[in-house]
Amino acid sequence: MNPIIRLNEITKRYGGLVAVDEVSLTVDRGEMFGIIGPDGSGKSTLYKILATLLKPDKGTATVCGFDTVKDYKRLRTMIGYMPERFSLYQDLTVEENLSFFASLFGVSVKENYDLIAPIFGQLERFPSRKAGALSGGMKQKLALSCALIHRPEILLLDEPTTGVDAVSRGEFWDMLSTLKRKGITIIVSTSYMDEATRCERIAMMNKGHILDIDTPSNLVAGLGENLYNAVSDDMFGLLTQLRSMPDVIDCYTFGATLHVVGSNSFNSDKAMAKLLVSGHKDVKIYPAKGNIEDVFIKLTRDERE
């Protein structure tokens, strides 16, 4: 264990809204760490605190041993930050954006080009194109290149794949794996639960606080629920009826099926028979394998209860 980031009871309020609520966690040097949660869970506020852009109302945050409040000037040279919204200059060209960010950190583009070359390579074909005219995937690559141009020790990525097509999302995570192998510590937030498996550990966040922190495999292994898939000719009616059954703890939409959480006394054959009698056709209820999304739903349900 070699923590490069330590958060101790970090709290941030906006008036009466508690955006981050006593969050404590550590991130090890060289780790790919994910912060997973829906919009409004506090991820962006937490990132701004780590990036020295916000002061916490309570608690302490250290990065590379430096306090994010007292040592913010030094830390800004050690952190690469890619915010949720595309924040580069739309009217500047690809080349001008990269040169501008390099000059901010007192480096030349050539100096650290080896780090960004695998990412920036496709952008070299149109250096004079304005950033605002790029596709979503290309904007993403340019923003990442600008965040890396000073060769930071830590890369903070706030929902970097939002609004990006599935192919570009996959390419982006492959690029992050390459950067991790070069020794860069990466903290990435996302609301896409399927991306969590690309991280070594994840913190599941909701309504400003951490629900759990562990490896994706450990979280799924600890789900501990009787989980089933359910389908019929009337999916909405099926959802409503299953939720009304006394042996069903929860039922929710999951892709093209429903996921049913049954109590110990839940019997799928009896449930199917009851549904068929009530008029459903082509009813199927069969065991399901849980994933990170099921874990998050369970944790939020436990929190409510």
Helix 166-181 × helix 136-148 angle, to 10° = 20
For the beta carbon of residue 234, count every other beta carbon within 10 angstroms. Answer: 15
Are 3-220 and 224-289 the same fold in CATH? no
Question: What is the per-residue pLDDT across 212-265, written as a single tens digit (0 to 9) for each?
Answer: 999 999 999 988 889 999 999 999 999 999 999 999 999 999 989 999 999 999
Q: State the DSSP H helix or E strand holding residue 293, giving kind and residue range, or none if neither.
A: helix 292-304
pLDDT tens digits, one per residue of 129-183: 888 887 777 888 888 888 998 999 999 998 888 777 777 788 888 888 888 988 8
pTM: 0.87
Please tell me the total number of residues recorded for the chain in this structure: 305
Domain 3-220 class, CATH top level: alpha beta
Backbone Cα Rg of the chain: 23
Residue with tokens 């019997």: 267
In the three-class reduction of DSSP (H, G, I as helix; E, B as strand; rest coil), residue 157 is classed as strand
Sorted by where each begins, the domain ranges of the chain are: 3-220, 224-289
CA dihedral 95, 97, 101, 103 (to 10 degrees): 60
Task: Tell which CATH architecture fits domain 224-289.
Answer: 2-Layer Sandwich (3.30)
